[in-house]
Structure 1
């Protein structure tokens, strides 16, 4: 049931072996802030797994970014709880 979390460097994890471990039930899941290559190809098989979370390499934001993100994040949490539309929604089909 354990998850592997990588916020360090993408090459630390053999992604083909990770995919085998995930689909074979050897580990519960993976949370990856870094991949190899980065970004992963759109057809990377890890994207098709429900037990994988891939973030866009944001585990160590630069400078005051964390402070700047706190306000909008808190507002989005409030909106989510209240059932309102969120700020800055990403529309996957727009390709940005």
Structure 2
């Protein structure tokens, strides 16, 4: 599946940059049905809920990926998930 160049073009989670089948399944587990819903989400809250729902601590790069997806759906340019690692480490040093 090709990746969307802008938020408005996303109809499926897999069209988001950095998102494949596994992360799309995580969004479904979180109760999200459409990529547009991400624009109203808090990436940290999504990460914490996923940890609770799966009963395991997720790798912090999952939070980086959530940050990238939420930003993209809010209109930011497509950036690789690792672009968010430094910001995540600064904002959430305990993760």
Query: TM range, normalised to the smaller chain?
Result: under 0.3
Larger relative helix fraction: 2
Q: Which of 1 and 2 has greater Rg?
A: 1
TM-score by length of 2: 0.26
Larger relative strand fraction: 1
TM-score by length of 1: 0.25
User: Larger RCO: Structure 1 or Structure 2 (Cα < 8 Å, ≥ 6 residues apart)?
Assistant: 2
